[in-house]
Amino acid sequence: MEEKRLRIAIQKSGRLSEKSLEIIRSCGIDFNSDSRVLREVASNFPLEFLFVRDDDIPTYVADNVADIGIVGRNELDESGYDLNVVRDLGFASCRLSIAVPGEFEYTGLKCLEGKRIATSYPRILSSVLERNGVSASLVTVAGSVEITPAVGIADCICDLVSTGTTLKMNGLKEVEEIYWTSAVMISRHGFESDGERYGILKRLLLRMDTVNNAKKKKYVLFNLPADRIDEAAAIVGGMKSPTVTPLLDRSWVSVQSVVAEDRFWSVFEDLRVLGAEGILVMPIEKMSD
């Protein structure tokens, strides 16, 4: 019987491609990443890749061509498919904003009443306008949205912005952020009932979460006067309690613990005040719950 594989749709070439593949690779999954092939099978994990345009990823997942996909939340919402967001992956984050030509006096969404707005995201934009009781005429374009006011087919635009440079280069100013997006992993609702493939997804997610957990933590090792250990334990917290090893000089101990990256500097400073010495900080490659 043919081995069941989980099928993942990944952007073939674009802003999401590299990072999507990096996430899979960080889970110890090997594959050839020859950009000319559209289909690929991992060599050491039951995973099959489909390399496609990002716009098509929600459709592929909805139509059962792929089981999961990595795509911008903007493409998912714009597609209109009701799919499951399995994980927010956090990368490729940007915003969808209204931008107007320099001379346009923007006073709020209401001033867009009756205006022509060019966008590649008509569904998301119209839901925001509707919620705000604004009726405008949307000009849907597939790309180069920024040039539409200059060529006279729109009064303003609604497009993705990350640094804002593209808008400036086209003489536009960003006046309103209306939506925020980053890359997400998606699946169909009810995919849980596909026992075998869903089981593979759970294995993949466990690996992803293990790698991700580790990224947010540091392994900390230091020496401490033995009588300060309770105070040190309160500072570092740790998964359970820190590991404490006696040193040859019995008035000192060596302490090992795991500290959240975002708390690291305050923990470090508090430990120094407590008399900790030789504080070693190491990255963690993988960490389970």
Q: Which residues bind ligand PRT (CB under 6 A)?
A: 11, 14-16, 53-55, 72, 74-75, 92, 94, 159-166, 181
Closest distance to ligand PRT from the beta carbon of 141 (Å)? 11
Residues 6+ apart with CB under 8 A from 45: 27, 28, 29, 30, 200, 203, 204
Residues 160-189 that bind Zn ion (CB under 5 A): none
Tokens of 55: 């716009």
How many binding residues for Zn ion (CB under 5 A)?
A: 2
User: To which H or E segment does residue 11 belong?
Assistant: strand 6-11
Q: Determine the residue type at 267.
A: V
Closest distance to ligand PRT from the beta carbon of 76 (Å)? 9
Q: Which residue is nearest to ligand PRT (CB)?
A: 72
Q: Choose from ligand PRT, Zn ion, none: what does 154 bind? Cβ within 5-8 Å by kind.
A: none
Smaller CB separation from Zn ion, 16 or 138: 16
Smaller CB separation from Zn ion, 54 or 67: 54
Closest distance to ligand PRT from the beta carbon of 66 (Å)? 14
Closest distance to Zn ion from the beta carbon of 178 (Å)? 19
Alpha helices in 132-263 (DSSP H): 165-169, 195-215, 229-236
Q: Across 68-215, where does the E strand assignment appear?
A: 68-72, 84-88, 94-101, 116-119, 137-140, 156-161, 172-181, 183-187
Alpha helices in 109-194 (DSSP H): 122-131, 165-169
Closest distance to Zn ion from the beta carbon of 131 (Å)? 25
- CA distances (Å), origin 4, targets 62, 179, 194, 256, 270: 19, 38, 11, 43, 52
From residue 34 to residue 63, the character string flagging contacts with Zn ion as x (rule: CB under 5 A) and all else as - is --------------------xx--------
Closest distance to ligand PRT from the beta carbon of 154 (Å)? 15
Closest distance to ligand PRT from the beta carbon of 282 (Å)? 32
Q: Choose from Zn ion, ligand PRT, none: what does 127 bind? Cβ within 5-8 Å by kind.
A: none
Smaller CB separation from ligand PRT, 40 or 267: 40
- Report the C-alpha gap between 122 and 140 in whole angstroms: 6
Q: Choose from Zn ion, ligand PRT, none: what does 15 bind? Cβ within 5-8 Å by kind.
A: ligand PRT
Residue 280: name the closest of 248, 251, 255, 252 by CA: 255
22 backbone dihedrals φ, ψ, rounded to 5°: -65, -40
Question: What phi-psi label fits residue 246: left (phi over 0), alpha (psi between -120 and 50 degrees) or beta?
Answer: beta
From residue 215 to residue 254, the character string flagging contacts with Zn ion as x (rule: CB under 5 A) and all else as - is ----------------------------------------
Kindly list the residues in this chain that would bind Zn ion in the complex (CB under 5 A).
Answer: 54-55
